[in-house]
């Protein structure tokens, strides 16, 4: 099986000094490519430096994470655009809305998201979305930007919200370790969402699948997610791997 992790943070401090071993373990598990979301100016240089060391295995995104948005978000965008000439950027992400810790910068998050939606459209790139506790506001913004294509990273919405997204554009959902959790509502959504609308991810070092939940996540655990999706849909792991890899290649042009 050839697999793609569409969202992991290999430049995270959790993996410092272990990057080569991480990539080796991923390759042994069949994970041949790992997409690296951008966060903000504090982490961006390290992420791109790591991508440059492994250009055949790692591919970068460019974006401003909603949790990093405050009243100075426009300055952060200026810093982000210093990397805009790179030819290897596969998506604008991870961008979105996050009200989980509060709504102090709700206005700014919406402004930053709309700006980045417009930028993605100008560049002809897909978007990679981080969304927590803000589906209503997110859908309202998407309705003003119909025709976008993208991926809902770590999807936590309903099947009905997925259908609405599909009505508005070309959307996939990212499925990771959460689908293996006991009583996870995501499992029922995955049963209903067509396989050709699903991509695989880890969000490493976060959201580790069972049976390693509570420990550090990594891309080599993707086969555990494949097995769970196959079980939910009553198909083979090989089919899950083949279709989701094709989906990732198509969405991110890789």
For the segment 147-206, what is each residue's pLDDT rounded down to a tens digit? 999 999 999 999 999 999 999 999 999 999 999 999 999 999 999 999 999 999 999 999
pLDDT the model gives residue 110: 98
**pLDDT at res. 187:** 97
- Catalogue all structural domains in the chain, each as residue range(s) with its CATH number: 3-252 (3.20.20.140)
pLDDT attached to residue 72: 95
Amino acid 4: pLDDT: 98
pLDDT lower than 70: segments of the chain: none
Please tell me the predicted confidence (pLDDT) of residue 120: 98
CA 171 to chain CA mean position, Å: 12
**pTM score:** 0.97
pLDDT value for 173 = 98
């Amino acid at each position: 099986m050839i697999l793609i992790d569409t969202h992991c943070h290999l430049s995270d401090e959790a993996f410092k000094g272990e990057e080569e071993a991480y990539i080796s373990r991923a390759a042994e598990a069949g994970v041949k490519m790992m997409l690296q979301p951008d966060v903000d100016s504090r982490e961006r240089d390290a992420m791109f430096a790591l991508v440059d060391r492994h250009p055949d295995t790692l591919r970068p995104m460019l974006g401003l994470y909603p949790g990093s948005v405050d009243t100075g978000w426009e300055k952060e965008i200026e810093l982000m655009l210093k990397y805009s000439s790179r030819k290897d950027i596969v998506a604008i992400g991870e961008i979105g809305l996050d009200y989980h810790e509060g709504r102090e910068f709700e206005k700014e998050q919406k402004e930053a998201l709309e700006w980045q939606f417009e930028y993605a459209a100008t560049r002809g790139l897909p978007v990679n979305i981080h969304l927590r506790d803000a589906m209503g506001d997110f859908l309202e913004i998407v309705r003003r930007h119909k025709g976008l294509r993208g991926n809902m990273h770590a999807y936590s919405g309903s099947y009905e919200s997925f259908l609405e997204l599909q009505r508005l554009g070309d959307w996939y959902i990212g499925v990771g370790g959460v689908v293996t959790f006991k009583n996870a509502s995501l499992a029922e959504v995955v049963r209903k969402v067509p396989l050709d609308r699903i991509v695989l991810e880890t969000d490493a070092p976060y959201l580790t699948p069972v049976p390693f939940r509570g420990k550090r996540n990594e891309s080599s655990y993707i086969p555990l997610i494949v097995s769970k999706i196959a079980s939910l849909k009553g198909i083979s792991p090989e089919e899950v791997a083949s279709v989701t890899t094709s989906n990732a290649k198509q969405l991110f042009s890789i």
